Structure 1
Amino acid sequence: MKNRFIEGASLLVFGLAMISLLIPLGINGQSDYHLIAMSPVFWPKLISWLIILLGALLVTSGILTRDEAREEKCSKIKNRSFTLILGNNTKGTISLAFLPIYYIALLNWGLVIPSILAFTFYASLHTTKKALSSFFWGAFIVLCVTVFFTIGANVLIPLGPLELLGL
């Protein structure tokens, strides 16, 4: 499908930009570590390669799959680009608009509280309307990951106001 091809190509460009530009420019001390898993570029590069792989799969799927009904539907609303972007993909647009807010919250409040709120927001937006349940699951998952990395892996995580609790 045309949309899969475009999404895959966008992911490929983004992943390649991360590997070639963003990681080398944004992370210092890339070759100072003997164990690659201890390097600060390990996780960003791993995620970048996964994004590139997903993009390649979407491009391949877009080339191999033809869905006439979907193509016909897209051609009918081609001239209504505002409706196509916001009307049919409102959740995606809201999700993208939330990312800068999440980033600013990360800078000010650390990693834990904004991640719990982001999990709650995305779960409520895309899967369930039970915000309280989403909040508890988000808190549980984020706190488990935080405990694993701070205690188990001995990796420093910016906790923000939770540092006052002595975690």
Structure 2
Amino acid sequence: GCLSIIDYQGFQDAEAPDMETWSKALNAGQYPLSVLGMTSRAAELYVVGIYGNTMTTNPRALETAIAVLERITPQIRQNIRDKGVEFVDKLKALADELPGTITKVQGTGLLISAEFDPERFTVVGYDKLEVWCRRHGLGVIHGGENALRYTPHFEITSEEIDLIVDITRQAILAFS
């Protein structure tokens, strides 16, 4: 629900940072792009030509970012915050329902992860949790320590969260 550090509680009155990066939220978590914003003072120190990878621009990614940013409304930002809390709560409930499977659930807004017990589950690899979820219709990626990372669209509904949690449950049961 926050596009910038100054949107977080406690930072609204803080001095603006010299630099800030944005990535997942900029393209609704759906298209790879990272952007670096900086003050004019910091820009004077930036050396053109020595940086690469995601900092070399991508016209399609930039068009996607513009389209996403043009659609962000106060209602969508509130949905990101509300559904993020709901999503985390439902994954924690799944961890309670199936003890010893999910060891940690964390997230802010709609960037959420569930870590799995490495003694019982492997997330990454052929025919492991991540691939199983994808083959069963859930666009999920790995991240962190043996974790699935969820980056749903900003207008996600409670029913869609339930579907994602159910597919995660099915994956756990398939590997138990």
**TM-score (norm: length of structure 1):** 0.26
Q: Structure 1 or 2: larger strand share? A: 2
Larger radius of gyration: 1
**TM-score (norm: length of structure 2):** 0.26
